[in-house]
Amino acid sequence: MTEPGGLDEEDRRRVLDLAAAASRTDGATSLSEDAELRLARGTGDSPAVHHLLRRGGDGALAGYAQLAGTPDALEGELVVHPDHRRHGHGTALLTEVEHLAAGAPVRLWSHGDTPGAAALADRHGWRRVRELLRLERPTAGLADLEVPALPDGVHVRPFVPGADDAAWVAVNAAAFASHPEQGRWTVEDLRARLGEAWFDPELLLLAEGPAGVLGFCWMKVEAGHGELYVLGVAPGHAGAGLGRALLVRGLRAVAQDPAPPALVDLYVDGDNVPALRLYARLGFERAAVDVQYASPTV
């Protein structure tokens, strides 16, 4: 049975348990941070967010889909528990997604680029439209990276919560104006991350000049895992080496921690050629792929 609607606390726990099992099997994080934040904070009960639960014959949670957006365009994720795959649960969930969309465009993420997801999409006429690559490299050696010089009049400092919120959101929106997720962040979205236990203002570096904030490098360290969370440069200052200068400083900050993580990773769109070149020069290599599929109506 597929159950649309909101989630209670027990359902949220079961969804997170299902996601953890799928992540271990697929070697990829099976739900995005946005999806997990909606679950953890209870914001998934908003009318703009839909939860679909699929239970097996024994009543156990077999699959889950989450959709968010407007009635005219929905985006989300679909995951089936590894113990319940190849029993029609993915098909049932995808059918329910299409029914809920009522002809509106939908895009769904498959984390890990699994053969099962590709086959399911193909059977239903969904198209592969976007790839998000996960790149990684060892932390060892990052502390020895040569620190690039900054442009004249520019200095780097840590983020100050409260004082820098609006400026950060403005630069992020400009830097990611064409990005389907990152560019839509609001002050509330930022503050949700600032409230997380992993947030460290010393790892959110701002490049500032006479005109204000020009770019930023945000590193995240959680449970022994290092990540380039977001790197952004205002359009008028892109291409001048500011991104690399910020990134090297951020990577060195993680590596110089008394107990640094063994690896640092990042996510980048597969068609972002300048970013891929930058990361390759710094020793990052491809580790996994997430794929977004578009419904036949897109």
Q: How far is CA 9 from CA 21, 31, 42, 63, 125, in A?
A: 19, 17, 9, 17, 35
What is the rounded CA–CA span in Å between residue 31 and residue 19? 6
105 contact partners, CB below 8 Å, separation of at least 6: 72, 73, 74, 294, 295, 297, 298
Quote the CA–CA distance of 175 and 97 in Å, as a whole number. Answer: 32
Residues tagged in the binding site annotation: 33, 78-80, 86-91, 181, 220, 227, 231-233, 238-244, 267, 272-277
Q: Which residues pair with 292 in a beta bridge?
A: 109, 130
Q: Which residues contact 172 (CB under 8 A, 6 or more apart)?
A: 182, 183, 185, 190, 216, 230, 232
DSSP 59: S
Which residue is associated with the tokens 């009635």?
A: 71
Feature table: binding site for acetyl-CoA: 78-80, 86-91, 231-233, 238-244, 272-277
Query: Which pair of tokens denotes residue 78?
Result: 């679909």
